[in-house]
Structure 1
Protein backbone atom coordinates (compact mmCIF):
# COMPACT_ATOMS: atom_id res chain seq x y z
CA UNK A 1 0.00 0.00 0.00
CA UNK A 2 1.21 3.47 -0.88
CA UNK A 3 1.99 6.19 1.65
CA UNK A 4 -1.16 7.66 3.18
CA UNK A 5 -2.24 11.19 2.32
CA UNK A 6 -3.09 13.66 5.07
CA UNK A 7 -6.81 13.21 4.34
CA UNK A 8 -6.50 9.41 4.58
CA UNK A 9 -4.60 9.71 7.87
CA UNK A 10 -7.27 12.03 9.29
CA UNK A 11 -10.01 9.61 8.26
CA UNK A 12 -8.22 6.63 9.83
CA UNK A 13 -7.63 8.52 13.08
CA UNK A 14 -11.24 9.72 13.12
CA UNK A 15 -12.43 6.12 12.70
CA UNK A 16 -10.24 5.13 15.63
CA UNK A 17 -11.79 7.79 17.84
CA UNK A 18 -15.29 6.87 16.64
CA UNK A 19 -14.78 3.20 17.52
CA UNK A 20 -13.37 4.19 20.89
CA UNK A 21 -16.45 6.32 21.63
CA UNK A 22 -18.60 3.31 20.72
CA UNK A 23 -16.86 1.15 23.32
CA UNK A 24 -14.38 -0.60 21.06
CA UNK A 25 -10.66 -0.01 20.77
CA UNK A 26 -9.09 2.84 18.87
CA UNK A 27 -6.85 0.44 16.95
CA UNK A 28 -9.92 -1.54 15.78
CA UNK A 29 -11.33 1.64 14.31
CA UNK A 30 -8.03 2.56 12.71
CA UNK A 31 -7.78 -0.91 11.14
CA UNK A 32 -11.34 -0.70 9.83
CA UNK A 33 -10.70 2.80 8.49
CA UNK A 34 -7.55 1.66 6.70
CA UNK A 35 -9.34 -1.32 5.15
CA UNK A 36 -12.15 0.98 3.99
CA UNK A 37 -9.57 2.97 2.04
CA UNK A 38 -7.57 0.01 0.71
CA UNK A 39 -7.78 -0.84 -2.98
CA UNK A 40 -6.70 -4.41 -2.32
CA UNK A 41 -6.66 -6.92 0.55
CA UNK A 42 -4.07 -6.14 3.22
CA UNK A 43 -2.04 -8.57 5.32
CA UNK A 44 -1.53 -8.25 9.06
CA UNK A 45 2.03 -7.11 8.41
CA UNK A 46 0.95 -4.46 5.90
CA UNK A 47 -1.68 -3.12 8.30
CA UNK A 48 0.84 -3.02 11.16
CA UNK A 49 3.42 -1.22 9.03
CA UNK A 50 1.00 1.42 7.70
CA UNK A 51 -0.57 2.08 11.12
CA UNK A 52 2.80 1.88 12.91
CA UNK A 53 1.56 -0.67 15.47
CA UNK A 54 2.58 -4.22 16.35
CA UNK A 55 1.41 -7.19 14.30
CA UNK A 56 0.18 -8.76 17.56
CA UNK A 57 -2.08 -5.75 18.19
CA UNK A 58 -3.42 -5.96 14.64
CA UNK A 59 -4.05 -9.70 15.04
CA UNK A 60 -5.96 -9.23 18.30
CA UNK A 61 -8.04 -6.32 17.03
CA UNK A 62 -8.76 -7.75 13.59
CA UNK A 63 -10.35 -10.77 15.29
CA UNK A 64 -12.58 -8.38 17.25
CA UNK A 65 -13.82 -6.55 14.17
CA UNK A 66 -14.23 -9.84 12.30
CA UNK A 67 -16.45 -11.07 15.14
CA UNK A 68 -18.86 -8.17 14.61
CA UNK A 69 -18.93 -8.75 10.86
CA UNK A 70 -17.12 -5.66 9.60
CA UNK A 71 -14.04 -7.40 8.18
CA UNK A 72 -13.57 -10.65 6.26
CA UNK A 73 -10.48 -12.78 5.78
CA UNK A 74 -9.52 -13.48 2.17
CA UNK A 75 -6.87 -15.57 0.54
CA UNK A 76 -4.52 -14.54 -2.21
CA UNK A 77 -3.69 -17.42 -4.57
CA UNK A 78 -0.14 -18.64 -4.03
CA UNK A 79 0.33 -16.71 -0.78
CA UNK A 80 0.01 -18.24 2.68
CA UNK A 81 -0.40 -14.94 4.56
CA UNK A 82 -3.75 -13.90 5.96
CA UNK A 83 -5.33 -10.96 4.16
CA UNK A 84 -8.34 -8.86 5.11
CA UNK A 85 -10.99 -6.73 3.41
CA UNK A 86 -14.03 -4.79 4.55
CA UNK A 87 -17.19 -6.90 4.60
CA UNK A 88 -19.57 -4.90 2.41
CA UNK A 89 -22.51 -6.58 4.18
CA UNK A 90 -21.16 -5.68 7.61
CA UNK A 91 -23.51 -2.73 7.97
CA UNK A 92 -26.51 -5.04 7.78
CA UNK A 93 -24.94 -7.19 10.46
CA UNK A 94 -24.52 -4.12 12.68
CA UNK A 95 -28.16 -3.19 12.04
CA UNK A 96 -29.30 -6.67 13.10
CA UNK A 97 -27.14 -6.44 16.23
CA UNK A 98 -28.67 -3.08 17.11
CA UNK A 99 -32.18 -4.44 16.52
CA UNK A 100 -31.47 -7.47 18.71
CA UNK A 101 -30.26 -5.17 21.46
CA UNK A 102 -33.40 -3.02 21.28
CA UNK A 103 -35.58 -6.15 21.28
CA UNK A 104 -33.82 -7.44 24.40
CA UNK A 105 -34.27 -4.06 26.10
CA UNK A 106 -37.99 -3.85 25.24
CA UNK A 107 -38.49 -7.40 26.59
CA UNK A 108 -36.96 -6.30 29.90
CA UNK A 109 -39.27 -3.29 30.06
CA UNK A 110 -42.34 -5.34 29.11
CA UNK A 111 -41.53 -8.00 31.72
CA UNK A 112 -41.22 -5.26 34.34
CA UNK A 113 -44.52 -3.69 33.22
CA UNK A 114 -46.26 -7.06 33.58
CA UNK A 115 -45.60 -6.97 37.34
CA UNK A 116 -48.62 -5.29 39.02
CA UNK A 117 -46.42 -3.09 41.25
CA UNK A 118 -44.56 -1.75 38.16
CA UNK A 119 -47.40 -1.63 35.63
CA UNK A 120 -47.93 2.14 35.99
CA UNK A 121 -44.30 3.29 35.88
CA UNK A 122 -44.24 5.94 33.17
CA UNK A 123 -40.50 5.69 32.44
CA UNK A 124 -40.83 1.96 31.76
CA UNK A 125 -43.88 2.54 29.53
CA UNK A 126 -42.12 5.36 27.63
CA UNK A 127 -39.04 3.18 27.08
CA UNK A 128 -41.14 0.23 25.84
CA UNK A 129 -43.23 2.48 23.59
CA UNK A 130 -40.13 4.12 22.13
CA UNK A 131 -38.54 0.73 21.44
CA UNK A 132 -41.71 -0.54 19.75
CA UNK A 133 -41.80 2.61 17.62
CA UNK A 134 -38.09 2.29 16.79
CA UNK A 135 -38.41 -1.37 15.76
CA UNK A 136 -41.45 -0.61 13.58
CA UNK A 137 -39.53 2.18 11.85
CA UNK A 138 -36.49 -0.04 11.37
CA UNK A 139 -38.52 -2.87 9.81
CA UNK A 140 -37.70 -3.10 6.16
CA UNK A 141 -34.62 -0.88 6.21
CA UNK A 142 -32.29 -3.79 5.42
CA UNK A 143 -34.50 -4.88 2.52
CA UNK A 144 -34.67 -1.33 1.13
CA UNK A 145 -30.88 -1.13 1.46
CA UNK A 146 -30.40 -4.38 -0.48
CA UNK A 147 -32.77 -3.14 -3.21
CA UNK A 148 -30.85 0.13 -3.38
CA UNK A 149 -27.55 -1.74 -3.70
CA UNK A 150 -28.92 -3.99 -6.46
CA UNK A 151 -29.92 -0.87 -8.42
CA UNK A 152 -26.40 0.61 -8.28
CA UNK A 153 -23.59 -0.32 -10.66
CA UNK A 154 -21.42 -3.12 -9.32
CA UNK A 155 -18.27 -1.94 -7.51
CA UNK A 156 -14.96 -3.42 -8.51
CA UNK A 157 -14.11 -6.54 -6.59
CA UNK A 158 -10.88 -7.14 -4.64
CA UNK A 159 -8.16 -9.26 -6.21
CA UNK A 160 -8.57 -12.12 -3.75
CA UNK A 161 -10.96 -14.88 -2.87
CA UNK A 162 -13.20 -14.71 0.18
CA UNK A 163 -12.82 -17.38 2.80
CA UNK A 164 -10.58 -18.39 5.60
CA UNK A 165 -7.04 -19.36 4.79
CA UNK A 166 -5.44 -22.42 6.30
Structure 2
Protein backbone atom coordinates (compact mmCIF):
# COMPACT_ATOMS: atom_id res chain seq x y z
CA UNK A 1 0.00 0.00 0.00
CA UNK A 2 1.38 3.38 -0.99
CA UNK A 3 1.87 6.24 1.46
CA UNK A 4 -1.00 8.13 -0.18
CA UNK A 5 -3.31 5.14 0.22
CA UNK A 6 -2.33 4.81 3.89
CA UNK A 7 -3.04 8.49 4.53
CA UNK A 8 -6.39 8.29 2.73
CA UNK A 9 -7.36 5.17 4.67
CA UNK A 10 -6.44 6.82 7.97
CA UNK A 11 -8.42 9.94 7.07
CA UNK A 12 -11.48 7.83 6.20
CA UNK A 13 -11.16 6.12 9.59
CA UNK A 14 -11.52 9.49 11.32
CA UNK A 15 -14.94 10.05 9.71
CA UNK A 16 -18.11 8.46 11.01
CA UNK A 17 -18.74 5.23 9.08
CA UNK A 18 -21.68 6.46 7.01
CA UNK A 19 -19.88 9.66 5.98
CA UNK A 20 -16.80 7.62 5.03
CA UNK A 21 -19.01 5.33 2.95
CA UNK A 22 -20.52 8.33 1.15
CA UNK A 23 -17.07 9.80 0.45
CA UNK A 24 -15.89 6.45 -0.95
CA UNK A 25 -18.92 6.25 -3.24
CA UNK A 26 -18.35 9.82 -4.42
CA UNK A 27 -14.70 9.12 -5.22
CA UNK A 28 -15.61 5.94 -7.10
CA UNK A 29 -18.35 7.75 -9.01
CA UNK A 30 -15.85 10.44 -10.01
CA UNK A 31 -13.45 7.78 -11.30
CA UNK A 32 -10.92 8.46 -8.54
CA UNK A 33 -10.89 4.99 -7.03
CA UNK A 34 -8.00 2.57 -7.34
CA UNK A 35 -7.67 0.78 -10.63
CA UNK A 36 -6.76 -2.86 -10.53
CA UNK A 37 -5.90 -4.89 -13.58
CA UNK A 38 -7.85 -8.02 -12.78
CA UNK A 39 -6.27 -11.30 -13.59
CA UNK A 40 -7.51 -12.73 -16.86
CA UNK A 41 -6.52 -16.29 -16.04
CA UNK A 42 -8.66 -18.76 -17.96
CA UNK A 43 -8.74 -20.83 -14.77
CA UNK A 44 -10.85 -18.14 -13.10
CA UNK A 45 -13.40 -17.88 -15.90
CA UNK A 46 -16.84 -19.12 -14.97
CA UNK A 47 -20.30 -19.39 -16.46
CA UNK A 48 -23.22 -18.22 -14.35
CA UNK A 49 -26.85 -18.01 -15.45
CA UNK A 50 -25.79 -18.23 -19.09
CA UNK A 51 -23.20 -15.45 -18.76
CA UNK A 52 -19.49 -15.92 -19.31
CA UNK A 53 -17.64 -14.11 -16.53
CA UNK A 54 -13.88 -13.51 -16.25
CA UNK A 55 -13.88 -14.65 -12.61
CA UNK A 56 -16.34 -15.76 -9.93
CA UNK A 57 -16.01 -12.63 -7.79
CA UNK A 58 -18.88 -10.19 -7.42
CA UNK A 59 -20.07 -7.51 -5.04
CA UNK A 60 -23.48 -8.08 -3.46
CA UNK A 61 -26.09 -5.37 -3.01
CA UNK A 62 -25.77 -2.93 -0.15
CA UNK A 63 -22.56 -1.08 -0.94
CA UNK A 64 -23.81 0.95 -3.91
CA UNK A 65 -27.49 1.38 -3.16
CA UNK A 66 -28.18 3.92 -5.92
CA UNK A 67 -26.04 2.73 -8.87
CA UNK A 68 -23.78 5.75 -8.61
CA UNK A 69 -20.46 3.94 -8.42
CA UNK A 70 -20.94 0.71 -10.39
CA UNK A 71 -18.23 1.49 -12.95
CA UNK A 72 -15.72 2.39 -10.24
CA UNK A 73 -16.50 -0.84 -8.42
CA UNK A 74 -16.10 -2.89 -11.60
CA UNK A 75 -12.60 -1.39 -11.98
CA UNK A 76 -11.63 -3.28 -8.83
CA UNK A 77 -11.89 -6.46 -10.88
CA UNK A 78 -15.32 -7.71 -9.84
CA UNK A 79 -17.02 -9.73 -12.58
CA UNK A 80 -20.37 -8.38 -11.43
CA UNK A 81 -21.78 -5.73 -9.13
CA UNK A 82 -25.27 -5.80 -7.66
CA UNK A 83 -26.74 -2.39 -6.81
CA UNK A 84 -29.52 -1.68 -4.36
CA UNK A 85 -31.57 -2.65 -2.58
CA UNK A 86 -33.91 -0.46 -4.65
CA UNK A 87 -37.56 0.18 -3.79
CA UNK A 88 -40.33 1.50 -6.03
CA UNK A 89 -40.26 4.91 -4.30
CA UNK A 90 -37.36 6.76 -2.70
CA UNK A 91 -37.03 6.21 1.04
CA UNK A 92 -34.72 7.41 3.77
CA UNK A 93 -34.02 4.12 5.53
CA UNK A 94 -33.48 3.89 9.26
CA UNK A 95 -32.53 6.91 11.41
CA UNK A 96 -28.86 7.61 12.16
CA UNK A 97 -26.68 6.25 13.58
CA UNK A 98 -27.18 3.11 11.53
CA UNK A 99 -23.68 2.02 10.52
CA UNK A 100 -21.27 0.94 13.25
CA UNK A 101 -17.58 -0.02 13.19
CA UNK A 102 -16.37 -2.93 15.28
CA UNK A 103 -12.66 -2.08 15.16
CA UNK A 104 -11.50 -5.04 17.25
CA UNK A 105 -13.32 -7.44 14.92
CA UNK A 106 -12.49 -5.50 11.73
CA UNK A 107 -16.21 -5.56 10.95
CA UNK A 108 -19.18 -3.29 10.41
CA UNK A 109 -22.77 -3.60 11.56
CA UNK A 110 -25.15 -2.32 8.88
CA UNK A 111 -28.60 -1.22 10.01
CA UNK A 112 -29.10 1.23 7.16
CA UNK A 113 -32.47 -0.07 6.01
CA UNK A 114 -33.43 0.24 2.37
CA UNK A 115 -32.33 3.86 1.98
CA UNK A 116 -32.31 4.55 -1.76
CA UNK A 117 -33.27 7.06 -4.45
CA UNK A 118 -36.12 4.90 -5.80
CA UNK A 119 -36.54 2.77 -8.91
CA UNK A 120 -36.98 5.67 -11.35
CA UNK A 121 -33.76 7.48 -10.38
CA UNK A 122 -31.71 4.28 -10.22
CA UNK A 123 -33.17 3.18 -13.56
CA UNK A 124 -32.08 6.45 -15.18
CA UNK A 125 -28.51 5.95 -13.90
CA UNK A 126 -28.41 2.40 -15.22
CA UNK A 127 -29.80 3.52 -18.59
CA UNK A 128 -27.09 6.21 -18.82
CA UNK A 129 -24.46 3.55 -18.03
CA UNK A 130 -25.84 1.31 -20.78
CA UNK A 131 -25.66 4.18 -23.31
CA UNK A 132 -21.98 4.77 -22.57
CA UNK A 133 -20.93 1.14 -22.71
CA UNK A 134 -18.77 0.25 -25.64
CA UNK A 135 -18.96 -3.16 -27.20
CA UNK A 136 -21.57 -5.83 -26.95
CA UNK A 137 -21.86 -9.28 -25.51
CA UNK A 138 -20.65 -10.54 -22.19
CA UNK A 139 -18.79 -8.15 -19.98
CA UNK A 140 -19.08 -6.78 -16.48
CA UNK A 141 -22.59 -7.34 -15.22
CA UNK A 142 -24.57 -4.89 -13.11
CA UNK A 143 -27.58 -6.44 -11.42
CA UNK A 144 -30.27 -4.83 -9.29
CA UNK A 145 -31.60 -6.05 -5.95
CA UNK A 146 -35.20 -4.96 -5.40
CA UNK A 147 -37.04 -4.75 -2.11
CA UNK A 148 -40.32 -3.83 -0.50
CA UNK A 149 -40.97 -0.17 0.26
CA UNK A 150 -41.84 0.77 3.82
CA UNK A 151 -45.00 2.34 2.38
CA UNK A 152 -46.29 -1.06 1.24
CA UNK A 153 -48.18 -2.91 4.00
CA UNK A 154 -46.87 -6.41 4.77
CA UNK A 155 -50.20 -7.90 3.62
CA UNK A 156 -49.72 -6.37 0.15
CA UNK A 157 -46.19 -7.65 -0.54
CA UNK A 158 -45.69 -9.68 -3.68
TM, length-normalised to structure 2: 0.24
Larger gyration radius, structure 1 or structure 2: 1
Q: Which structure has the highest helix share of the two?
A: 1
